[in-house]
Amino acid sequence: MQEALLGLAAMFALTLARVPIAFSMGIVGFVGLGLLRSWPSAVASATAVVYETGFSYALSVVPLFILMGNFVTRAGMSQELYRAAYAFFGHWRGGLAMSTVVACGGFSAICGSSLATAATMSKVAMPSMRKFNYSQGLAAGSIAAGGTLGIMIPPSVIMVIYGLMTETNIGMLFAAGVLPGILAVSCYMGAVAFTTWRDPQAGPPGERSSWSDRLAALKEIWGVVVLFAVVLGGIYGGVFTPTEAAGVGAAGGFLFALGRRALSWHTLYLVLLESARTTAMLFVILIGALTFANFINFTTMPADLRTFVSELQVDPVMVVVAMCVIYIVLGCVLESLSMILLTVPLFVPLVLALDFGFGADEIKKVWFGIVIVTVVEISLITPPVGLNVFVLRTLLPEISLGTMFRGVGPFIVADFVRLSILISFPVISLWLPQLLF
């Protein structure tokens, strides 16, 4: 136990010294294994992690889903989703912000990245909200919060990595994210309604669309519906595996971008380069985290935690609440993927040892995965390391960071309400995967 705590302290010290989190975890894991076991063992373990991660067939799903997201972004599908959402909600008070949230949810279904969703929708939604004199806080807050849906609504890269780390069925995780994703959109729309109720000038209503305009807008999003149905329908129908689904999705995204003449040789090069950069970043973090996890597993910390919790004899749900508090604190200093990779080796064995009345361990892992993703979503918009907010600050330099963080305040409250609902009513996350699988 002491070795693991010293390792965690060393890792945080390196992170505070501005050593990249991937290298912080990798260095501490390697040195810790060397001191606990032997240096040849540490070298062999690190070599195995690098080799197995780089050549893992299952992990090929990550770059393929990233590639699909980049292709559909270039194809302009985000603009069609926003127009469709605007046609139905734009005439409401705060309707443009609500349209942004709904469009973010739809775009997340074919993107899988929170940062990409926020960055893309800022270019699509912000001009309309400026036109109708929306407050800068509500405009930026709705985009930043809506962007977090990218890691909840499937296909989600974060869910894929969690599923691979915990050996959880990725199809079940994707199915489990559907209803919580819809709940998230509803809660965010409630946050917009509350904001405009307090200050009607923050979100004036837009223009009302006729039913013919609404039907025309719905027809425009056929590409999104087809791509989403093929990828997830293929997984749920047993037609292909998640890895094969990612390949089909990437090919579909490429064909849509090509058919809409959104690809040139230069654009294709930029898409491939951006996908390679994002994949490399994720894999470096993953390698560092797995090296650190190997070190933690050689200590007594996982077993000691299980013993400690069992001796306390507290309600299992309260243990999960305590874990969520830890995630929220970690979210103030770490980014989302690092948090998951750092804590999953510690928390998942503990969750499996608790009795929630769910039955099988697979169901526990699915439910806990949704809870983790929800908490991680909160960290994407909370200060001081709300990555979605910082992405928007780069794209919208005229809006101050303070204004953006004030704007996301109601959405953070909505997130805590949603987290409480998902913990209190696990059936929301588990009904669809149990029905399909």
Quick one: three-class SS letters along 221-263?
A: CHHHHHHHHHHHHHHHCCCCCHHHHHHHHHHHHHHHHHHCCCC
State residue 425's pLDDT score: 92
Q: pTM score, two decimals? A: 0.82
State residue 309's pLDDT score: 63
State residue 333's pLDDT score: 65
Compute the Cα dihedral for 251, 156, 425, 386 and give only its sign.
negative
Q: ∠ at Cα 91 (90, 96), nearest 5°?
A: 30
Compute the Cα dihedral for 343, 348, 350, 354 and give only its sign.
positive
User: pLDDT digit of tens for each residue in the chain (437 aa)?
Assistant: 677 778 778 877 887 787 887 788 888 888 888 888 888 888 888 888 888 877 777 778 888 888 887 888 787 777 788 888 888 888 888 888 999 999 888 887 777 677 777 877 887 888 888 888 889 889 989 998 988 888 888 888 888 888 888 888 888 998 999 899 999 999 999 999 999 999 888 888 877 888 888 888 888 788 778 888 888 888 777 788 888 888 888 888 898 888 888 888 888 898 889 888 878 887 887 888 788 878 877 777 666 666 766 666 778 888 888 888 888 877 766 767 777 877 888 888 888 888 777 768 888 899 999 999 898 888 888 877 677 887 788 778 888 888 888 899 999 999 999 999 999 999 999 999 888 87
State residue 13's pLDDT score: 83
State residue 115's pLDDT score: 72
State residue 70's pLDDT score: 81
State residue 112's pLDDT score: 67
